[in-house]
A and B are shown apart, each in its own frame.
Chain A
Amino acid sequence: GAGVSQSPSNKVTEKGKDVELRCDPISGHTALYWYRQRLGQGLEFLIYFQGNSAPDKSGLPSDRFSAERTGESVSTLTIQRTQQEDSAVYLCASSSDRADEKLFFGSGTQLSVL
């Protein structure tokens, strides 16, 4: 596709359930990022994939959060045993490995934990 695609666009779940959020980056982009955006706040870095290197997981808030990426394509962010404080918009972004290449964001997944 022409841009970063995320699915679902909205997800409502019950506390304690697991959720999976999907990101399709721009074709050919080697770097992929996940960010979280709580209501009325800025974006918080979660995790970063670059090519075949080990991901930078330094932003994951707890061990309930994990992410995988298949090669240089689709990524899945998984949240286990969801809590109400996990409610937020989860944004995915990708970029190429060229110097000064900018991030291109998807529209995000709005997660609501009831």
Chain B
Amino acid sequence: GESVGLHLPTLSVQEGDNSIINCAYSNSASDYFIWYKQESGKGPQFIIDIRSNMDKRQGQRVTVLLNKTVKHLSLQIAATQPGDSAVYFCAENKDFGNEKLTFGTGTRLTIIP
């Protein structure tokens, strides 16, 4: 069936380095993708999104890349900080107009001081 999955369940990065979190999706009908950050004991927090008509979008210290050919999504975090330690989820949306999302399993990012 259709699913959103992640390549790596855990990732450790030295503070100040850049990190890349990857995500594979299988539903070619999805047209909207979002990255969420979830800290322990909290709900997911929106980081950045991208529509299928784009291949790159940048925010503050974060960049999302979308490769529709291989159905791959990545989140790049530049100059990582201890506060970036969290679980990161990618999610896809097939129904434009609502936020009925399909989430991946998540990647735990740990920033090493």
With A31-B98, A93-B99 known to touch, is A103 a contact of B46 (CB < 8 Å)? yes
* Chain A contact surface mostly: strand
Q: Are A31 and B44 in contact (CB under 8 A)?
A: no
- A95 CB-CB contact with B under 8 Å: yes
Interface residues on B, range: 20 to 34
- Interchain Cβ contacts under 8 Å between A and B, 5 examples: A33-B100, A35-B103, A59-B100, A95-B99, A102-B34
Binding site for B on A (CB under 8 A): 4, 31, 33, 35, 40-45, 48, 50, 56, 59, 91, 93, 95, 100, 102-108
Known pairs A45-B100, A59-B100 / 11 extra A-B pairs, C-beta < 8 Å: A4-B43, A31-B98, A33-B100, A41-B105, A43-B91, A43-B101, A91-B44, A93-B99, A105-B43, A105-B45, A107-B43
